[in-house]
Every structure is written in C-alpha cells, then in structure tokens.
Amino acid sequence: MTGQAAASSSGRTVRLLVLATVSAGARTDGRTGRQGNDMTRRRSTTLGVTALVAATLIGLTGCAGGAAGDDVTAEPTETVTVPAPTTTPGTTPSPTAEPTGPTDTAEPTETAVAAPLVTIPADCTQIVDQATAAATFGSTPLNPAEFPRRDGTARGARTASVPAAGAQPFQIVDAAAELDCLWRDPAADITGIGVVLGRLDQPTAASLLDQVSAAGATCQEAHGGQLCQQPLTNTEPYDVEAAATWFVRGDLYIAVEQFNVPTNDLIGSILAHLES
C-alpha cells in the first residue's frame, strides 16, 4: 500500500465509523429518551465519537509510518535574506567626497633678471668703443689741465666719497665719481662734453633722480634703468645747445653734460662697451 492509498482508505474508514457511531447514538436516544435527560445523551454521544476517532487515528498513524519508502519530506522553508545595514544604527553616513576638479596651475611668475655688471674703467679712453669715440669726441683734447674738477683736483680716475646728506645733484655726482672725463678745447668757446661714472646706494640714487625731476628733467625707463634729461639754459653769453643727462641702474650712475656736442645714445654705447 502506498502512502497516498493508505491515507485515502484511512479517511474513508474514519468517516464510516463516525457515521455509524452517530447513527447508533441516535437510535439509542430514541429508545431511552424517557430514561435520561438531554445533557446525558450529548455527553455519551460525544465521548463515544471521541474515543472512536482517537483509536482510528492511532491505527492510521501506525500504518502510514511503517510503510517502506514512504518517508514524508517536509516542504522547504522560505528563507528571507535581509540586506545587511550599510551604516550603524544611530550614526549618520559620511558624505561621499565630491570629485575635485582639475588643480589650478599657478601662473608662472616673472623672475627678476639681474642687470649686467658694469665695470668702471680707470681710463677715460675706455668708456666707449673706438668708432663711437671717434664720432663723438673726435680730436678734442681730453682732460685739459685748464679745466680741473670743481674741487680743484685733476680729472680722470679717482677715489669716490660718500655724498653728504641733502647734497644737490652736482654735489652727489662729484663726490661719488670714480671716473671723471672731460673733452674740451681750451682754445674754443664753451663747446665740450663731460662724462662721469660712479656708484650710489639706493637712497642717494633716489634722491638724485627726485631732485632733477623736480627741477624739470624728463625721466623715462631706458636700458634697464632710469634716464633723466634736461636742457641747460645758463650758457650765456654763448649761444649753444646744452643738456644734462643722468642715468641710474642698480648702484651704477652715469652723468653727462654736453655743450654744442651732439650725441646719439651715448649712454647706450657706454653700457654696451662696459657690460660683462
């Protein structure tokens, strides 16, 4: 007998026994209805049915469990998977860092280029190249004894001194000079040109430029430094063209006074010849 057939047969047996028992109880109740009350009849009928059903179930269980190959496998239980929490309860998730944009590249900064070193020579004939010297000075005598410096000393190479505080432009130029040159013919009028080279500290150089600018000189950037020029008008009784030029770059200064001697960027020629 297979498990399915046993279960079907047992079910029919239970139903037939129950119906037979109920029918028997009903007949008995009809015959002895006058001998007991309703409560007694219901209790007797119920007890009889219960006992008979229990006995039948016990027999059914023994039949089903003893059949070979009839092991009943329970239906698999559905497993519910709960996703693991991504954060600990009671904590706030850390925000995801926003992707950063491209790093700004710093703009290249201009690197200050040091001015070329200028060596001041000890000889006035060495301040410019020969071609410039011939075109500018020609055969004009150099440093004639008749025209010494303002302090009465001879021109040419000299030992510089520190200008006094509050010195005027010509005093600054004279005191700090390392080379003082003058091309002038003693037999001529005022015609001639003087060139002075020396070195100044920054405050003194600034004072020089401030004073000549305040006196009417026109200043501009040139050759990596500051160049100031001013016409000279105190040339009476001589009717000549005259001008003064001051140039400062770093600690170098060049001063030029020219009377009736035209030049073409003499400062630039001096720098080009003396730079190293």
Comparing 111 with 209, the larger pLDDT belongs to: 209
Comparing 219 with 21, the larger pLDDT belongs to: 219
- Across residues 130-156, what is the average pLDDT? 96
Same domain, 59 and 196: no
C-alpha 169/C-alpha 197 separation (Å) is 14
Query: Which residue has tokens 């280029």?
Result: 113
Q: What is the pLDDT of residues 50-101, one digit of tens each?
A: 343 334 333 434 443 433 333 333 333 333 333 444 444 444 555 555 555 5
CB 231 within 8 A of CB 202: no
Same domain, 140 and 215: yes
Q: What is the pLDDT of residue 72?
A: 34
Of residues 19, 11, 42, 16, the one with CA closest to residue 29:
42
Same domain, 178 and 261: yes
Q: What is the pLDDT of residues 188-220, one digit of tens each?
A: 888 999 999 999 999 999 999 999 999 999 999
C-alpha 98/C-alpha 66 separation (Å) is 70
Comparing 54 with 180, the larger pLDDT belongs to: 180
Q: Is the pLDDT of residue 173 over 90?
A: yes
Same domain, 8 and 129: no
Is residue 135, in this structure, part of any structural domain at all? Answer: yes
Look over the chain and give the mean of its residue pLDDT values, rounded to a whole number.
Answer: 74
Q: What is the pLDDT of residue 78?
A: 34
Quick one: 261 exposed, middle or buried, by C-beta within 10 A (0-12, 13-18, 19+)?
buried
Last residue of a domain, one of 65, 88, 104: 65
Helix axis angle for 3-31 and 38-65, nearest 10°, is 160
Same domain, 59 and 131: no
Q: Is the pLDDT of residue 146 over 90?
A: yes
Same domain, 178 and 55: no
- Across residues 133-162, what is the average pLDDT? 96
CB 248 within 8 A of CB 172: no
Q: Is the pLDDT of residue 130 over 90?
A: yes
Domain total of the chain: 2
Is residue 117, in this structure, part of any structural domain at all? Answer: no
Is residue 152, in this structure, part of any structural domain at all? Answer: yes
- Entry pTM: 0.60
Q: What is the pLDDT of residue 182?
A: 98
At 274, the pLDDT band (50, 70, 90 cuts) reads: very high
Q: What residues make up the domain containing 145? A: 124-274
**CB neighbours of residue 238 within 10 Å:** 11
- Across residues 118-142, what is the average pLDDT? 97
Of residues 15, 2, 8, the one with CA closest to residue 56:
15
Q: Is the pLDDT of residue 1 over 50?
A: no
Strands in the chain per DSSP E: 156-157, 177-184, 192-199, 218-222, 225-231, 242-249, 252-259
Q: Could you tell me how far CA 210 lies from the centroid of its own chain?
A: 40
Q: What is the pLDDT of residue 98?
A: 57
Comparing 121 with 189, the larger pLDDT belongs to: 121
Is residue 189, in this structure, part of any structural domain at all? Answer: yes
Is residue 167, in this structure, part of any structural domain at all? Answer: yes
Q: What is the pLDDT of residue 101?
A: 52
Q: What is the pLDDT of residue 233?
A: 84
**In the chain, what percentage of residues exceed pLDDT 70?**
59
